[in-house]
Amino acid sequence: MAEEISKAELQSSESTVAKTRSLWPSVLRWIPTSTDRIIAAEKRLLSLVKTPYVQEQVNIGSGAPGSKVRWFRSSSNEPRFINTVTFDSKEGSPTLVMVHGYAASQGFFFKNFDYLAKYFKVIAIDQLGGLGPWGPNLVSKYTTARFSPRYSAEGVLTEEESKLLTDYVYHTLAAKASGELCLKYIFAFGAFARMPLLNSASEWKVPTTFIYGVQDWMNYQGAQEARKQMKAPCEIIRVPQSGHFVFLENPSGFHSAMLHACRRFLSPHPDDEPFPEGLVSA
């Protein structure tokens, strides 16, 4: 059961929001955030997870070892930290590192940690976000609309999950910019990749599995084009009743896809493992 936000916290939050009610539209009203508030929001969200975990800030220094270039080409020599959560696992379990996508955080995997921790040593990392004056009301409208039951008869999130995820998303989006500062080095004008992965597919040396939602806005045919050029083994799995956030919208389908993709680390006879029922091989 998720720990409840105390009345004092709620009263403090309401008081802070009330002070901002001036010229700002209601959806843009904001409340302060900080590293401590983000960690508190993360703990409230992860209280839904039953598997014990350790949360820590991993010091990655001010730049890559041996390089004079600082992270994000900063002029500061101050160290940077990566928020890391490591879940308890059985001794000898293979390690699974979970890295979120753009405009998300590791907490988005809260519906997957318990299941995956049965099979892996799960390590989830994230980078704090920063997308400007998104007030709590606007974030709430986004999460409610984004995770509505569009692909299945059941709701994607319970009321409690929606409340805690909204609170968590707000604080990560309102934080000081960090990870997204590198986007100008990744994307050219129009958000086109400067160095598309497709162009380097022939150089990939590790087995790769692409997982898409059947209703995903991202075109799985791009992965099919990459597979034609790859020398390493490649699989493409499509999960029904889900869009881009397949791990939230159809957790059980995502879990099946993950276990199949990692079967060589989990099964003594991986080549004999059948393709999961209900999933689509592309």
pLDDT in tens, 225-239: 999 999 999 999 999
User: How far apart (Å, rounded) are the C-alpha atoms in residues 121 and 123?
Assistant: 7
- Does 53 fall in a domain? yes
Cβ within 8 Å of residue 218, ≥6 positions away: 212, 244
- Does 15 fall in a domain? no
Asked if residue 184 has pLDDT above 80, the reply is no
Asked if residue 82 has pLDDT above 70, the reply is yes
Asked if residue 188 has pLDDT above 90, the reply is no
In this predicted structure, what is the pLDDT of residue 7?
38
Looking at the fold, whether 141 and 222 belong to one and the same domain comes out as: no
Q: Tokens for 132?
A: 């400007």
pLDDT interval class at 13 (50, 70, 90): very low
Looking at the fold, whether 27 and 133 belong to one and the same domain comes out as: yes
Asked if residue 145 has pLDDT above 80, the reply is no
**Strands of the 280-281 sheet, one edge to the other:** 208-213, 234-239, 280-281
What's the pLDDT tens digit per position in 97-136?
Answer: 999 887 778 899 999 999 999 999 999 997 644 445 556 7
Looking at the fold, whether 149 and 251 belong to one and the same domain comes out as: no
Looking at the fold, whether 33 and 80 belong to one and the same domain comes out as: yes
Number of domains the chain contains: 2
Last residue of one domain, picked from the residues 157, 184, 211: 184
Question: What's the rounded mean pLDDT across residues 17-38?
Answer: 56
In this predicted structure, what is the pLDDT of residue 38?
81
Residue ranges making up the domain that contains 231: 195-281
Last residue of one domain, picked from the residues 150, 184, 218: 184
Asked if residue 256 has pLDDT above 70, the reply is yes
Asked if residue 23 has pLDDT above 50, the reply is no
> What's the CATH code of the domain at 257?
3.40.50.1820
